[in-house]
């Protein structure tokens, strides 16, 4: 007769085989699990690699007292943008901005940029020219050199891939992995506006584009917070940082995973703009849900040791960086909890924006 241990082991193997058989497509696995699955065995010459897969940028060096920061992002027509509802100039700006935001999240300065496009054969030149004007305009604003790239024909819409090289002081780089229990959690601006803008742009809400200009702008023309990132990194007051591209829950989850910690968010402290609240009331939307899971805010999320909190808030005010919002704290364990104004709690599930899964709430 087989032992209980043998039976349990066989049951485990059967479930493991069934699980692997069920995961036949990337939709089954999801974007973030796919990234984890390919992250092993990627480094074959580790000298000089300070950070590979798993943060906003790869970090290479040091070279003297500095390191190189390298990041890349892909924008795909009808996935990231709707071409006939987004001015091409604004699209060019956004393609650059989302990459500069990654550099900002590490506390760096962007220096050089490369653009690769896959273009349908009959694509209008006027749109391409406007696209590049938007890219060049944002590059000028941040002192970034556009040094080249590649072009290809596309059989399925416009593809835009941007890669940026930046630099930072070696001892000032902020990673995702530095947070500790007790650290305060801050964000640099309102959340959820871009998600509301996306609902309008996709026609999920019966509202004109001109009715909610600030929500559309939040989605199509995000501002990379490079100066704020540099000030935060230079201060030495923060322990970790990330930009909010996938949504508050997902990106805070990246911090928690890298730092082996959890988090507590205070719902009443979430920064919601008056415009978002008005939009939510008019169209029966959940502003807290948009804030937690919406994505594409491109604010910075920073963790700060509690003892540094007053100095951090004072520094932001003195440097004229605008408001900074304390929304919670890092905790023990691996759960992210949200505390409602009445004191009740809920565990936050879902991964925010995942290209291959629907966001869960």
pTM of the model: 0.87
Taking the CA atoms of the chain, what radius of gyration do you get in angstroms? 22
Looking at per-residue confidence, does 35 or 268 come out higher? 268
CATH number of 175-347: 3.90.650.10
**Structure confidence at residue 16 (pLDDT):** 45
Instruction: Compute the average pLDDT of residues 151-155.
Output: 97
Looking at per-residue confidence, does 361 or 75 come out higher? 75
Task: Among 145-154, 205-214, 281-290, name the one with the lowest average pLDDT.
Answer: 205-214
- Between the alpha carbon of residue 33 and those of residues 339, 355, 356, the distances in Å are 28, 12, 11
- For residues 83, 85, 89, 90, the Cα torsion angle rounded to the nearest 10 degrees is -110
Residue 32: which pLDDT band, with cuts at 50, 70 and 90? low
For residue 250, pLDDT beyond 80: yes
CATH match for 49-171 among 3.40.30.10, 3.40.50.300, 3.40.50.970, 3.30.1330.10:
3.30.1330.10
Task: Among 49-53, 102-106, 327-331, name the one with the lowest average pLDDT.
Answer: 49-53
DSSP one-letter code for 243 = E
**φ, ψ for residue 295, nearest 5 deg:** 90, 170
pLDDT tens, position by position, 337-354: 999 999 999 999 855 444
Same fold, 49-171 and 175-347: no
From CA 104, how far away is CA 88, in angstroms rounded?
A: 24
**Structure confidence at residue 265 (pLDDT):** 98
Helix residue ranges, H only, 236-283: 248-259, 274-283
Per domain, the residue ranges of the chain are 49-171, 175-347
pLDDT tens, position by position, 166-207: 999 999 999 999 999 999 999 999 999 999 999 999 999 988
State both tokens at 202: 């996709």
For residue 19, pLDDT beyond 60: no
- For residues 247, 70, 86, 121, the Cα torsion angle rounded to the nearest 10 degrees is -130
β-pairing verdict for 109-119 and 336-339: unpaired
Cis peptide before 62 (omega within 30 of 0): yes
State both tokens at 209: 């584009």
**Structure confidence at residue 361 (pLDDT):** 36
């Amino acid at each position: 007769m087989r032992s209980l241990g043998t039976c349990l082991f066989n049951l485990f193997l059967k479930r493991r085989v069934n699980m692997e058989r069920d995961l036949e497509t990337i939709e089954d696995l999801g974007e973030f699990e796919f990234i984890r699955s390919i992250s092993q065995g990627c480094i074959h010459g580790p000298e000089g690699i300070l950070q590979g897969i798993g943060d906003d940028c790869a970090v290479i060096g040091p070279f003297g007292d500095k390191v190189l920061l390298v990041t890349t992002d892909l924008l795909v027509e009808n996935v990231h943008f709707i071409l006939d509802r987004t001015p091409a100039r604004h699209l060019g700006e956004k393609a650059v901005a989302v990459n500069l935001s990654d550099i900002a999240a590490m506390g760096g300065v962007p220096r050089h940029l490369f653009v690769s496009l896959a273009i349908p054969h009959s694509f209008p030149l006027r749109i391409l020219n406007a696209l590049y004007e938007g890219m060049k305009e944002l590059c000028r604003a941040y002192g970034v050199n556009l040094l080249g790239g590649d072009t290809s024909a596309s059989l399925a819409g416009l593809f835009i891939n941007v890669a940026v090289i930046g630099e930072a002081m070696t001892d000032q780089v902020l990673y995702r992995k530095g947070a500790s229990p007790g650290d305060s959690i801050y964000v640099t601006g309102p959340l959820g506006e871009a998600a509301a803008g996306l609902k309008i742009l996709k026609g999920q809400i019966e509202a004109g584009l001109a009715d909610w200009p600030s929500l559309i702008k939040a989605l199509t023309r995000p501002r990379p917070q490079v100066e704020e990132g540099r000030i935060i990194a230079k201060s030495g007051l923060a322990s970790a940082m990330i930009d909010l591209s996938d949504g508050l829950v997902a990106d805070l989850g990246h911090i928690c995973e890298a730092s082996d910690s959890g988090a507590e968010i205070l719902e009443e402290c979430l920064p919601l703009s008056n415009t978002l609240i008005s939009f939510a009331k008019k169209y029966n939307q959940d502003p807290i849900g948009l804030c937690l899971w919406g994505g594409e805010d491109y604010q910075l999320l920073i963790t700060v040791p509690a003892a540094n909190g007053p100095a951090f808030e004072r520094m932001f005010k003195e440097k004229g960086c605008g408001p900074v919002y304390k929304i919670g704290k890092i905790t023990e364990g691996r759960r992210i909890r949200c505390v409602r104004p009445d004191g009740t709690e809920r565990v936050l599930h879902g991964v925010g924006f995942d290209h291959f899964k629907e966001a869960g709430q």
